C-alpha cells in the first residue's frame, strides 16, 4: 500500500516538512501538496528531488487517500476545510491550533506542541488540578507590526481572544489552552526590540507545585512569525502517526 502524506500549505513549515521527507526522516512514499498559491508548490517542487504531487483543491488532495494530512496553512484554512477533513479517513495534524478552540475535536485531530514543549507535564498536572497558566511571549516589534523602541506590553488577556488578535503569533496560546482545558490560559504579549529569538515563557501553578518553561526559538528565515521548532515538532508528530499506522496495519 502506498503511504501518502497530504500537505495543506507549502510555506515555511511545509517546506521544512518536504525537506525532512527528502532526507528520509519521514517514512512515506508520496507527498501531495495543496496551496492556494500555486507558485508556492512550484517552488517546493524545485527544491526537493523526490516527486511531489500537486492538488488544485482540497477535494483533489482528499481523493489521493492520504493516511495523514498536515495542515500548515492558516486558521482560515482549518475552518474552511475542517468538515471535509474530519469526514475523511486521514489522521490530521493541525498547526494552526488557534482555529481548534472554536471547533469540535475528534480523536483523529492531532496537534504538535509546536513552538513550545512540556505538554506531557501539563497533561499530567491537569489530572491533579491546575490552578493557573500564564504565557508570556516576546517577539520583535517588526514581527508584531509595531515600532516601539522600548520593551512594551502590547496585550494582556486570555488565549481565546489572543488567537483572534494575533492569529500568526498565538498558536502557542491555543495549544496550551487545548491542553489544560477548561483552565483559562492568561496571555501577555511583549514587543521587545532587543529580542532576536521568539521567546515563550510558561508559568504553571498546579495542585502539587509550580512549573516554569522557557523556549527561545530561532524564527524561520522565510517566515519570522514562525519558530523553527514548530516545523520540527510537526515532523516528530508525523513520524509517530506514520509509525502507529504501520503497527496497526501489521496487526489487523
Ligand X SMILES: NC(=O)c1ccc[n+]([C@@H]2O[C@H](COP(=O)([O-])OP(=O)(O)OC[C@H]3O[C@@H](n4cnc5c(N)ncnc54)[C@H](O)[C@@H]3O)[C@@H](O)[C@H]2O)c1
Residues forming contacts to ligand X in the complex (CB under 6 A) are 8-14, 34-37, 40, 72-77, 80, 95-97, 114-115, 168, 171-172, 175, 223, 226-227, 230
CB of 197 to ligand X, least distance (A): 14
Residue placing its CB nearer to ligand X in the complex, 40 or 245: 40
Question: Minimum Å distance from CB 252 to ligand X?
Answer: 32
In terms of Cα–Cα distance, which of 25, 22, 44, 24 is closest to 33? 44
33: nearest Cα among 1, 67, 64 = 64
Residue number with the shortest CB distance to ligand X? 11
Residue 51, CB half-sphere, CA atoms under 13 Å: how many?
4
User: Least distance from C-beta 201 to ligand X, angstroms?
Assistant: 15
Give the position of cell 503511504.
Answer: 3
Contact between 163 and 98 under an 8 Å Cβ cutoff? The reply is: yes
Q: Of residues 200, 207, 220, 244, which has the active-site annotation?
A: 200
Cβ nearer to ligand X, comparing 131 with 196: 196
With a CB cutoff of 8 Å and minimum separation 6, the contacts of 171 are 95, 96, 97, 98, 114, 115, 163, 230
Asked if 110 is an active-site residue, the reply is: no
d(CA 61, CA 55): 5
CB-wise, 6 or 14, nearer to ligand X?
Answer: 14
Cα separation of 221 and 139, whole Å?
A: 15
Smallest separation (angstroms) from ligand X to the CB of 32: 13
Taking the complex as a whole, the smallest distance from the CB of residue 231 to ligand X amounts, in Å, to: 7
Cβ atoms of 12 and 73 within 8 Å: the answer is no
Distances (CA, A) of 205 to 53, 117, 215: 47, 17, 18
Q: Please count the other Cβ atoms lying within 10 Å of the Cβ belonging to residue 120.
A: 10
CB of 40 or CB of 197, closer to ligand X: 40
Q: Which residues are catalytic?
A: 200
Amino acid at each position: 500500500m502506498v503511504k501518502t502524506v497530504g500537505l495543506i500549505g507549502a510555506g515555511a513549515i511545509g517546506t521544512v516538512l518536504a525537506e525532512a521527507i527528502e532526507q528520509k526522516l519521514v517514512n512515506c512514499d508520496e507527498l501531495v501538496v495543496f496551496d492556494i498559491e500555486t507558485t508556492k508548490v512550484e517552488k517546493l517542487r524545485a527544491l526537493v528531488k523526490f516527486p511531489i504531487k500537486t492538488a488544485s483543491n482540497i477535494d483533489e488532495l482528499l481523493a489521493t487517500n492520504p493516511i495523514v494530512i498536515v495542515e500548515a496553512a492558516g486558521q482560515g484554512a482549518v475552518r474552511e476545510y475542517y468538515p471535509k477533513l474530519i469526514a475523511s479517513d486521514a489522521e490530521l495534524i493541525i498547526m494552526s491550533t488557534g482555529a481548534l478552540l472554536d471547533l469540535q475535536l475528534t480523536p483523529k485531530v492531532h496537534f504538535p506542541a509546536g513552538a513550545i514543549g512540556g505538554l506531557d507535564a501539563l497533561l499530567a498536572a491537569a489530572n491533579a488540578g491546575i490552578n493557573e497558566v500564564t504565557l508570556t511571549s516576546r517577539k520583535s516589534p517588526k514581527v508584531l507590526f509595531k515600532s516601539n523602541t522600548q520593551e512594551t506590553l502590547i496585550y494582556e488577556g486570555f488565549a481565546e481572544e489572543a488567537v483572534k488578535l494575533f492569529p500568526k503569533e498565538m498558536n502557542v496560546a491555543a495549544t496550551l489552552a487545548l491542553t489544560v482545558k477548561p483552565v483559562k490560559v492568561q496571555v501577555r504579549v511583549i514587543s521587545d526590540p532587543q529580542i532576536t529569538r521568539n521567546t515563550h515563557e510558561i508559568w504553571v501553578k498546579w495542585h502539587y507545585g509550580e512549573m516554569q518553561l522557557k523556549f527561545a526559538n530561532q524564527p524561520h528565515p522565510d517566515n519570522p512569525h514562525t519558530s523553527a521548532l514548530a516545523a520540527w515538532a510537526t515532523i516528530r508528530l508525523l513520524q509517530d502517526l506514520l509509525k502507529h499506522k504501520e503497527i496497526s496495519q501489521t496487526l489487523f
